[in-house]
């Protein structure tokens, strides 16, 4: 449900946050105010029926794919920058540097996601399924009463 007063107040808070010129506010508190003020605006854009184009864009296949790669991109972007920046600065014009590094980050993140993360997630699911099917008897013991979870006594 769209709440126009909240969106309007958020927009005003963001605009006002650019007007303050105190050093402490500009270096720290401003980002907190802007982050809190962006929540209603982003919520309105995502969940409102008035912004169908934004909903379609965020539910498109490329956006979903980027969402799946987001953790790998976060983890590997600095490594890609470190590994490929010497090559890029030597052999590419300055105008192509950002695009090349952006592409390298996506390639490294894709390799990480498809060859490491997805197989490990399948293995985790396999382990979780097998762990729930088999119980380890005698592991869960109430030492105070000398009983297992099933109620049988462990003391002889």
pLDDT at residue 63, as a whole number: 93
Cβ count within 10 A of residue 1: 7
Structure confidence by residue, pLDDT tens digits, 51-69: 888 888 888 999 999 999 9
* Model pLDDT, residue 54: 83
Residue 105 has a pLDDT of 94
| Three-class secondary structure assignment of 74-88 | HHHHHHHHHHHHHHH
Torsion of CA 109, 114, 120, 126, to 10 degrees: 150
pLDDT in tens, 53-110: 888 888 899 999 999 999 999 999 999 999 999 999 999 998 899 899 999 999 999 9
Can you read off the two tokens belonging to residue 16?
């006002």
pLDDT at 133: 52
> What are the distances in angstroms from CA 146 to CA 96, 137, 139, 143, 150?
70, 14, 12, 5, 12
pLDDT at 138 over 50: no
Phi, psi of 43 (to 5 degrees): -60, -40
């Amino acid at each position: 449900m769209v709440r126009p007063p909240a969106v309007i107040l958020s927009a005003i808070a963001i605009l006002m946050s650019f007007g303050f010129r105190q050093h402490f506010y500009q270096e720290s508190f401003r980002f907190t105010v802007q982050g809190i003020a962006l929540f209603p605006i982003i919520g309105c854009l995502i969940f409102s029926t008035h912004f169908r184009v934004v909903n379609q864009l965020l539910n498109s296949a490329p956006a979903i794919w980027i969402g799946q790669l987001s953790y790998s991109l976060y983890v590997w972007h600095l490594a890609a920058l470190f590994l490929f920046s010497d090559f890029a600065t030597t052999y590419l014009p300055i105008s192509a540097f950002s695009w090349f590094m952006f592409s390298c980050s996506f390639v490294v993140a894709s390799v990480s996601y498809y060859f490491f993360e997805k197989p490990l997630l399948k293995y985790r699911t396999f382990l979780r399924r097998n762990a729930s099917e088999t119980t380890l008897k005698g592991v869960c013991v109430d030492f105070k009463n000398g009983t297992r979870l099933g109620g049988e006594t462990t003391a002889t």
